[in-house]
Amino acid sequence: MTESNNAPVSFDALGLPEVLSTALKAMGFENPTPIQAMTIPPLLEGRDVLGEAQTGTGKTAAFGLPALASIDTSIRKPQMLVIAPTRELAIQVAEAIEQFAKNMKGLRVATVYGGQSYGPQFAQIERGAQVIVGTPGRMMDHLRRKSLKLENVKFCALDEADEMLNMGFLEDIEWILDHLNDETQMALFSATMPPQIRKIANRFLKDPEHLRVAPVKQVKANITQLAWKVSGLNKKTALERVSEVIEYKAMIVFVRTRNDTVEVAEHLESKGFAAAAINGEMNQAQRERTVDQLRNGTLKILVATDVVARGLDIPSIDLVVNYDLPDDNEVYVHRIGRTGRAGREGTSISFIRPREMYRVRHYERLTSGRVEDYELPTIQEIGKSRIERTKQELLDILANNDIAEMMKVVETMAEESEMSTEHLAAALLFNKQLKQPLFPKEDPKPRREARDRDDRGNRRDARRGDRDNRGERGDRGDRGERQRKPKTTRSDVDWQTYRLEVGKEHGAKPGDIVGAIANEISLDSSYIGQINLFDRHSFVQLPKNMPTNVYKKLKGVRVRRQAIDISLSEAPIATQKRKPRGDKQRRYN
């Protein structure tokens, strides 16, 4: 096995065709990464390669450039095959290959993955794509349909092989590789090399060059690793404080399950943070739109699971939060590797419970670095940060807007009310800070259910594992979700039926609706009546005579990221029989 060294080398010295070298120079690439410098020469010679390298080391160019060098663009049939574990990684690889091959006239790339209709994929393949990049499940579908034929494939690359193993794709991979010619050149890349991956390598690779890039040296140089020992506050409150006080361009929060992505993202949204979930339950268009929003700054926080985030390449991420620790210590390295890329500095903060503190030693050994203790911002620091941020907002308004008319209005108000302009300004500031107080008070001791969720719920998750993170083969609904049951409703209320524009297709459940309404208007859940869920809407019973201000407040409530857009309805609602308990009427506060 050959390990990487730090000997300087340039792309010009690797023997790539000029059509590729020119494209690399135009992209600003001068020197290859260690895995590229080690892999490109043997692949250009026609040898098979078994490479150990973590995410973010430049593997796409390592196998993509030499594979492109062997393609005959006059032949309009698949000649290069790349198998990736996730849709995001497949798209990323395809985009990179298109950039490398921009000077290769007639070169076409087709991307095939689940969650997208077959039509566009059929069209890409039929137009004569020489490069096929895709996920195992959809690639198998195309092979069965005969829309994809592999007899002309000269080169095949398996990217993130260990992740495909974790997602249960091992048999699928073998089935696909059995369709290749014996002469097909192979490159297999994996961050780790478990026995199952070695078995695939031994079966399908011919006398491969075994290359290894030592992981995490870059992590030690660029990433500050911090750990908060979970105590006193629940993790959601801790995440709020981190999100509010630490400066960052973009943050990714890692949680254990897809249900947690939604729960945590919705919590952050409710606190005013620009956050969104990304998980395997979303279709491809939704996921791509969410990632684009993070890239352009519309979103600041992405809440994700390991599998879905594996293929993301977003340079602006400079903060990673391990809200839940991964089961595999090496996954920790991949997670924090989302930041600190291309020489940039990054920070990772891990929420670690006392019983998990032993893991810190493993993380330090794996990264050859230190994991420092982290103290959460105090409530006083939160207030100071909010005041400073509000001051900057006001200064920006003054610098970028003509406020002469507003000054006249304030002066008139001051004269008519016989109040000073300072008092009026203070009143406006008081009103502005109602949702996010400038002088916040310490949160009360976490409720029992919150502590139970943090201290025991994740223990159950750890035993269960992340069943939701199996990629396209694992999208089997929400079997692992604990559904919240609404409390028994009262029989002494005069009910009115309302329609909500959220339903089963949005992932809504009765508990979601009860919680959203009860929390927004401080209404005891026993005063929320029957709930009938349909595909795209639902009906709910609420007490009659809802005040206008309460009604307006509910209009903006969101359930599962979907605005409920509440409205009165005369539709019948399925009810359960209740024994009469008097005529006491609930009053809205």
Q: Are residues 385 and 425 in the same domain?
A: yes
The pLDDT of residue 472 is 39
pLDDT reading at 575 higher than 70: no
The pLDDT of residue 301 is 95
| Chain segment 523-564, per-residue pLDDT in tens | 777 788 889 988 888 999 888 878 877 888 888 788 877 888
Is 75 within a domain? yes
Q: Are residues 271 and 397 in the same domain?
A: no
* Residue finishing a domain among 413, 432, 451: 432
Reported as a pLDDT band with limits 50, 70 and 90, residue 214 is: low
Q: Are residues 278 and 237 in the same domain?
A: yes
pLDDT reading at 254 higher than 80: yes
CB 160, CB 169: distance < 8 Å:
no
Q: Are residues 170 and 270 in the same domain?
A: no
Q: Are residues 360 and 282 in the same domain?
A: yes
CB 571, CB 530: distance < 8 Å:
no
CB 549, CB 524: distance < 8 Å:
no
pLDDT reading at 516 higher than 80: yes
The pLDDT of residue 403 is 87
The pLDDT of residue 56 is 60
Q: Are residues 130 and 25 in the same domain?
A: yes
The pLDDT of residue 574 is 66
Is 241 within a domain? yes
Length of the chain: 589
- 538 - beta bridge partners? 500, 533
* Non-local CB neighbours of 88 within 8 Å, separated by 6+ positions: 287, 291, 308, 309, 310, 311, 312
Choice between 2 and 521, residue whose per-residue pLDDT is larger:
521
Extended beta strands in 282-380, E state: 301-304, 317-322, 346-352, 371-373
The pLDDT of residue 443 is 58
Lowest average pLDDT, out of 158-172, 239-253, 359-373, 454-468, goes to 454-468
The pLDDT of residue 307 is 65
| Chain segment 35-84, per-residue pLDDT in tens | 899 999 999 999 999 998 766 677 889 999 999 999 999 999 999 999 99
* Residue finishing a domain among 184, 212, 240: 212
Q: Are residues 79 and 176 in the same domain?
A: yes
Is 457 within a domain? no
Percent of the chain exceeding pLDDT 70 equals 82
Choice between 426 and 167, residue whose per-residue pLDDT is larger:
426
Parallel, antiparallel or unpaired: strands 531-533 and 538-543: antiparallel
CB 176, CB 136: distance < 8 Å:
yes
Mean pLDDT of 468-483: 36
The pLDDT of residue 384 is 83
User: What CATH number does residue 343 fall under?
Assistant: 3.40.50.300
The pLDDT of residue 524 is 72
* Burial profile 475-497: b = 16 or more Cβ within 10 angstroms, e = fewer: eeeeebbeeeebeebbeebebbb
* Residue finishing a domain among 358, 377, 396: 377
Mean pLDDT of 458-474: 37
What is the domain extent for residue 34? 2-212
CB 484, CB 560: distance < 8 Å:
no
Is 464 within a domain? no
Backbone conformation region of residue 16, classed left if phi is above 0, alpha if psi is from -120 to 50, else beta? beta
Reported as a pLDDT band with limits 50, 70 and 90, residue 95 is: confident
Q: Are residues 276 and 297 in the same domain?
A: yes
Question: How many whole angstroms from its chain centre is CA 465?
Answer: 18
pLDDT reading at 449 higher than 60: no
- 69 - beta bridge partners? none
The pLDDT of residue 17 is 92
Q: Are residues 206 and 60 in the same domain?
A: yes
* Residue 468 DSSP symbol: T
User: In degrees rounded to 5, what are phi and psi of residue 123?
Assistant: -65, -40
Is 453 within a domain? no
pLDDT reading at 309 higher than 80: no
Choice between 410 and 488, residue whose per-residue pLDDT is larger:
410
Distance CA 352, CA 472 (A): 30
Mean pLDDT of 311-325: 84
Which amino acid is located at 345 in the chain?
E
Mean pLDDT of 120-135: 94
Q: Are residues 100 and 141 in the same domain?
A: yes
pLDDT reading at 577 higher than 50: no
Is 458 within a domain? no
pLDDT reading at 308 higher than 70: no
Mean pLDDT of 389-401: 84
* Residue 473 DSSP symbol: G
Which tokens is 396 given?
Answer: 């920006």
Choice between 522 and 273, residue whose per-residue pLDDT is larger:
273
User: In degrees rounded to 5, what are phi and psi of residue 21?
Assistant: -60, -40
Reported as a pLDDT band with limits 50, 70 and 90, residue 215 is: low
Choice between 311 and 162, residue whose per-residue pLDDT is larger:
162
* Element at 2 (helix H, strand E): strand 2-3
Which amino acid is located at 145 in the chain?
R
Parallel, antiparallel or unpaired: strands 250-254 and 495-500: unpaired
The pLDDT of residue 486 is 43
Is 236 within a domain? yes
Which amino acid is located at 334 in the chain?
H
Lowest average pLDDT, out of 84-98, 300-314, 383-397, goes to 300-314
The pLDDT of residue 509 is 85
pLDDT reading at 177 higher than 80: yes
Distance CA 160, CA 178 (A): 19
Is 454 within a domain? no
CB atoms within 10 A of CB 474: 15
User: What CATH number does residue 560 fall under?
Assistant: 3.30.70.330
Lowest average pLDDT, out of 85-99, 382-396, 434-448, 511-525, goes to 434-448
pLDDT reading at 453 higher than 90: no
Reported as a pLDDT band with limits 50, 70 and 90, residue 460 is: very low
Q: Are residues 421 and 289 in the same domain?
A: no
pLDDT reading at 468 higher than 80: no
- 112 - beta bridge partners? 134
pLDDT reading at 295 higher than 50: yes
Reported as a pLDDT band with limits 50, 70 and 90, residue 504 is: confident
Provide the mean pLDDT of the chain.
80
Mean pLDDT of 24-32: 80
Percent of the chain exceeding pLDDT 90 equals 30
Q: Are residues 266 and 280 in the same domain?
A: yes
Looking at the structure of the chain, the number of domains it has is: 4
